[in-house]
Amino acid sequence: MNPTAIPLEERIIFALDLADPGEARALVDRLCGRIRFFKVGLQLFFAGGWPMVDYIVGKGCKVMLDLKLYDIPATVQLAVRQFANRGVSLTTVHGYGPVVEAALAAETGIQILAVTVLTSFGAEQLRELQYPGTVDDLVLQRAEAVLRLGCHGVVCSAREAALLRGRLGHDFVMVTPGIRPAGADLNDQQRVATPGRAIADGADYLVIGRPIRDAHDPEACITAVQDEISAALAAMQR
């Protein structure tokens, strides 16, 4: 993927992690002049359903439908078929081979992203799984497996971005949640990075929600993040 081909206003995927569709629509209205990509996750989708997706698409913006599907393959394939012709650009499934294959087999034209390891996952969870390696090892293992199947891209923390780019190349989309501007609250995230670091390490899109939504001046926060993204991209071209 050509990292310079993505418009700056689409680099941030704003996470509409809200239970109130009216509040979500108001945020879309407020931010859509600066951000043109929005994430609809489980909470908002259960609250607002397809009308919420339709509203964002109707504003001329893109949607990442982040439902992280995980079920028997036949069910996943049938579910993903329901996403067709809704204007969804990206959607997520868990990075388990048969689930990824089923989502791809739906042939909707939507880019399928495999979630590698959630950004709230850390060393304690590895011990609970009795996994012998590190989080990096697990992310790389899952990313390699799903990309071999033809998955369009992965969702990983920015901490693993450089590793995946170095080992797996650039022919896939990389979306990184857990982005926190310097000094921001980490909330429930463990594996985080600043916007500039994430871009420099190979992320294509940055999922950001609370740091912008809760900022005293959200528009100024967006400007600062976009300036950091632009600087990182410029440095990569030197």
Q: What is the pLDDT along the chain (238 residues), one digit of tens a residue?
A: 555 689 999 999 999 999 999 999 999 999 999 999 999 999 999 999 999 999 999 999 999 999 999 999 999 999 999 999 999 999 999 999 999 999 999 999 999 999 998 877 777 888 888 888 888 999 999 999 999 999 999 999 888 999 999 999 999 999 999 897 755 554 544 556 899 999 999 999 999 999 999 999 999 999 999 999 999 999 988 7
For residue 107, give every residue at least 6 positions away whose Cβ sits within 8 Å of its Cβ, in sequence order, or none.
none
Phi, psi of 10 (to 5 degrees): -105, -5
Instruction: Tell which residue, 120, 146, 121, has the closest CA to residue 135.
Output: 121
Domain boundaries, the chain: 8-237
CA distances from 120 to 26, 43, 127, 177 (A): 28, 17, 14, 10
Residue 2: left if φ>0, alpha if ψ -120 to 50, beta else—which one?
beta
Separation of alpha carbons 211 and 199, rounded Å? 17
List the catalytic residue out of 39, 59, 62, 68.
Answer: 68
Instruction: Please say whether the beta carbons of 110 and 81 come within 8 A.
Output: no
- CATH code for the domain defined by 8-237: 3.20.20.70
66: Cα within 13 Å, side-chain hemisphere: 23
User: What are the phi and psi torsion angles at 114 (to 5°)?
Assistant: -95, 125
- Cα–Cα distance, 136 to 37 (Å, whole number): 28
Assess whether 59 carries a catalytic annotation: no
